[in-house]
């Protein structure tokens, strides 16, 4: 067990911020210079730690951060993150006061919400002007007073930037992309600045699926219609990780939103990845016990594994309580001293057992490599996801909070408080 933060820890996650920055530079090299990049840091940056990821991404030149909910954006602001933040979930009326206070960009998915936000801003503007309205002095002419009011109006008008979400086929959030009149009405509201227009692909990770072309055609038609009307928002975006990598300039528009690939995991689940991305996260544990198990003996809950010969069994301090999924019995491997040790039977809440017969020199306290695509493709996040019939996103976002997080950054390694000194 390693003494992270002065306390022995049997399990931990290592987050390599250098790899994150390398991935951002790689994506930047694929894009025209004027195309912006939004990094989603929702769900605690896909389980990687939203603060460290945000600061490292900003230093690497990321243009936008994306969160799912208002409170995620507020948490970043309260911890000193100054980059533009887009709330990707739909805006609610209860969000309105916090948008101004924390300088957050909402997603608008209907005219009704947009109209209410515009009206509230109108009221705030009126109140502000009344409060700061200059009083006429005896020596001042009405003309001079009008000039002062005009200056006040231009300087103090509160506007909020918004991004309009359109539904081109995902059918989750957004205005129907064919309802162009409603979108135009939102763009015309005087207190809202329609900075962005976007949609989301449903099947970009299965490129042979015709839905990608259908969605792209609908979005492209909408963008051109708005452009013709002089209402095209400056930031149109639809590309997620696979679209950015596979469909190149067809989907890039003004901004892209690669998520899982910027964290270093192949959006198609390929091992090895064809793309020059580096995994940001690794999950490590320790050997907590060693024992000899005789032929015919069962291991773990339910005895789904029964030894066919005498063997050496190591107990590893990682379990489904840490986010290491339970899955099917006798599935997967963990590396000890460079050897792949098959998992025996069921993964428990706080431990799992592996066959360490091929590691006769294994000792209690040895590091166990549980998930690390750099170490071996066998224990990459993509491989682990495939074993459990899921996707990389679910694996990383399920990492438990009780796992201690340490960060690697420019030759330094430490907890968040240590690395923060170098990032801010």
Which residue numbers are catalytic? 42, 301
Give the chain's radius of gyration (CA, Å). Answer: 27
Torsion of CA 130, 133, 137, 142, to 10 degrees: -100
Secondary structure (H, E, C), the chain: CEEECCEEECCEEEEEHHHHHHHHHHHHHHCCCCCEEEEECHHHHHHCCHHHHHHHHHHCCCCEEEECCHHHHHHHHHCCCCCEEEEEEECCHHHHHHHHHHCCEEEECCHHHHHHHHHHHHHHHHHHHHHHCCCCCCCCCHHHHHHHHHHHHHHHCCCEEEEEEEECCCCCCCEECCCHHHHHHHHHCCCEEEEEEECCCCCCCCCCCCHHHHHHHHHHHHHHHHHHCCCCCCEEEEECHHHHHHCHHHHHCCEECCCCCCCCCCCCCCCCCCCCCCCCEEEEEEEEEEEEECCCCEECHHHCEECCCCEEEEEECCCHHHCCCCCCCCCCEEEECCEEEEEECCCCCCCEEEECCCCCCCCCCCEEEEECCCCCHHHCHHHHHHHCCCCHHHHHHCCCCCCEEEEEECCEEECHHHHHHHHC
Structure token digits, residue 101: 């206070």
Contact at 8 Å (CB) between 285 and 327?
Answer: no
């Amino acid at each position: 067990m390693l003494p992270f933060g002065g306390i022995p820890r049997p399990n931990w996650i290592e987050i390599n911020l250098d790899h994150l920055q390398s991935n951002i530079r790689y994506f930047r090299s694929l894009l025209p210079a004027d195309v912006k990049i939004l990094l989603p840091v929702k769900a605690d940056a896909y389980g990687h730690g939203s603060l460290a990821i945000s600061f490292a991404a900003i230093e690497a030149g990321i243009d936008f951060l994306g969160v799912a909910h208002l409170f995620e954006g507020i948490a970043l602001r309260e911890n000193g993150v100054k980059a533009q933040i887009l709330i990707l979930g739909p805006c609610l009326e209860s969000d309105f006061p916090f948008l101004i206070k924390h300088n957050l960009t909402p997603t608008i998915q209907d005219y009704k919400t947009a109209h209410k936000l515009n009206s509230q801003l109108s009221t705030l503007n009126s109140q502000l002007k009344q409060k700061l309205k200059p009083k006429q002095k005896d020596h001042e002419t009405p003309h001079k007073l009008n000039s002062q009011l005009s200056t006040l109006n231009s300087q103090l008008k509160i506007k909020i930037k918004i991004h309009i979400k359109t539904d081109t086929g995902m059918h989750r959030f957004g205005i129907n992309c064919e309802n162009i009149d409603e979108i135009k009405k939102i763009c015309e509201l005087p207190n809202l600045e329609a900075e962005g227009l976007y949609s989301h692909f449903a099947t970009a990770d299965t490129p042979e699926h015709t839905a990608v072309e259908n969605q792209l055609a609908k979005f492209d038609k909408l963008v051109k219609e708005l452009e013709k009307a002089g209402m095209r928002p400056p930031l149109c975006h639809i590309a997620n990780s696979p679209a950015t990598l596979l469909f190149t300039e067809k989907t890039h528009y003004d901004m892209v939103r690669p998520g899982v690939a910027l964290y270093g995991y192949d959006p198609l689940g390929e091992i090895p990845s064809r793309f020059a991305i580096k995994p940001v996260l690794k999950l490590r544990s320790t050997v907590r016990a060693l024992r000899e198990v005789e032929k015919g003996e069962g291991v773990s809950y339910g005895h789904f594994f029964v030894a066919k010969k005498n063997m050496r069994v190591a107990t590893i301090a990682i379990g489904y309580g840490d986010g290491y999924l339970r899955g099917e019995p006798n599935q997967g491997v963990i590396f000890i001293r460079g050897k792949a040790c098959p998992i025996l039977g069921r993964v428990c809440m706080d431990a799992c057992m592996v066959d360490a017969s091929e590691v006769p020199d294994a000792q209690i306290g040895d590091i166990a490599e549980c998930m690390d695509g750099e170490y071996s493709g066998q224990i990459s996040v993509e491989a682990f996801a495939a074993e459990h019939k899921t996707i990389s996103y679910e694996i990383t976002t399920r990492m438990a909070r009780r796992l201690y997080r340490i960060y690697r950054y420019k030759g330094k390694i430490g907890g968040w408080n240590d690395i923060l000194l170098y990032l801010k």
